[in-house]
Chain A
Amino acid sequence: QSALTQPASVSGSPGQSITISCTGTSSDVGGYNYVSWYQQYPGKPPKLMIHNVSERPSGVSNRFSGSKSGNTASLIISGLRAEDEADYYCSSFTSTGTWMFGGGTTLIVL
Chain B
Amino acid sequence: QVQLAESGGGVVQPGRSLRLSCAASGFTFSAYGMHWVRQAPGKGLEWMAVISKDGSQTYYADSVKGRFAISRDNSKKTLFLQMTSLRPDDTAVYYCAKDLRTDGFDYWGQGTLVTVAS
Contacts and interface: CB of A to CB of B under 8 A. Distances in A.
A93 B59 contact: no
A32 to B, nearest CB: 8
Interface residues of A, number: 29
A82 to B, nearest CB: 23
B117 interface: no
A3 B44 contact: yes
Chain A, interface SS category: strand
28 contacts: A3-B44, A34-B103, A34-B104, A35-B103, A36-B103, A38-B105, A45-B95, A45-B109, A46-B37, A46-B45, A46-B95, A47-B108, A51-B102, A52-B102, A87-B44, A89-B44, A89-B45, A91-B45, A91-B104, A98-B47, A98-B50, A98-B60, A99-B47, A99-B50, A100-B47, A101-B45, A102-B44, A104-B44
Contacts of B105: 36, 38, 46, 48, 91
Nearest to A53: B103
Contacts of B44: 3, 87, 89, 101-104
Interface string B35-71: 1010000001111001000000001111100000000
B100 interface: yes
Interface in A13-42: 33-36, 38, 40
Contacts of A38: 45, 105
Most chain B beta-carbon neighbours within 10 Å: one of A34, A89, A99: A99
Size category of the B interface is 20 to 34
A1 interface: yes
Nearest to A46: B108
Interface in A58-110: 87, 89, 91, 93, 96-104
A96 B104 contact: no
Contact of B104 (A36, A102, A104): A36
Nearest to B58: A97
Contact of B100 (A1, A48, A102): A48
B106 interface: yes
**Closest A-B pairs by Cβ, 6 of them:** A36-B104, A51-B104, A45-B108, A104-B44, A34-B103, A99-B47
